[in-house]
Amino acid sequence: MALDEHLQTIRHSCAHVMAQAVLKLFPGTKIAIGPAIDNGFYYDFEFTGDKKISEADFADVEKEMRKILAGNHDFIRKEVSKAEALEIFKDQSYKVELINELPDNETITTYTQDTFTDLCRGPHVANTKEINQQSFKLMKIAGAYWKGDINRTMLTRVYAVCFAKPNDLKDYLTMLEEADKRDHRKIGTQLDLFHIDDEDPGQIFWHPNGWSMYVTLQDYMRQKVLADGYMEVNTPTVMPRTLWERSGHWGHYQKNMFVTESEKRLFAIKPMNCPGALEIFNTRTRSYKDLPMRLAEFGHCARNEPSGSLHGIMRVRGFVQDDAHIICTEEQIGAEVTKFCALLKDVYKDFGFDKNLLVKFSTRPEDHVGSEEDWDRAEAALADACHNAGLEYEIQPGEGAFYGPKLEFTLIDALGRQWQCGTIQADFQLPSAERLNAQYIGKDNEKHHPVMLHRAVLGSLERFMGILIENYAGAMPAWLHFEQAAVVPVSPDFNDYAEKVADELKSVGIRVKAYTDDDNMKSKIKYISSEHRTPYILVVGEKEKSENAVCVRFRYSSGLPQKTMSLAEFKEYILDKVNSHFNGI
- Residues tagged active-site: 274, 303, 321, 323, 325, 406, 454
Cα gap 74→23, rounded to integer Å: 19
The β-bridge relationship of strands 116-119 and 108-113 is antiparallel
Q: Is the bond preceding residue 240 a cis peptide, omega within 30 degrees?
A: no
Task: Specify the pairing of strand 231-232 against strand 293-297.
Answer: parallel
Buried b (16+ CB within 10 A) or exposed e, 546-580: eeebbbbbebeeeeeeeeebebeebbeebeebbee
Q: What are the backbone angles phi and psi of residue 407, rounded to the nearest 5°?
A: -100, 135
Residue 564 to residue 552: CA distance in whole angstroms: 6
**How far lies 188's CA from each of 316, 449, 534, in Å?**
15, 46, 15
Q: Calculate the dihedral angle through the C-alpha atoms of 508, 510, 515, 520, rounding to the nearest 10 degrees.
A: -110
Query: What does residue 303 show for φ and ψ, rounded to 5 degrees?
Result: -130, 135
**512-514/485-489 β-pairing:** parallel
3-state secondary structure 517-551: CCCCHHHHHHHHHHHHCCCEEEEECHHHHHHCEEE
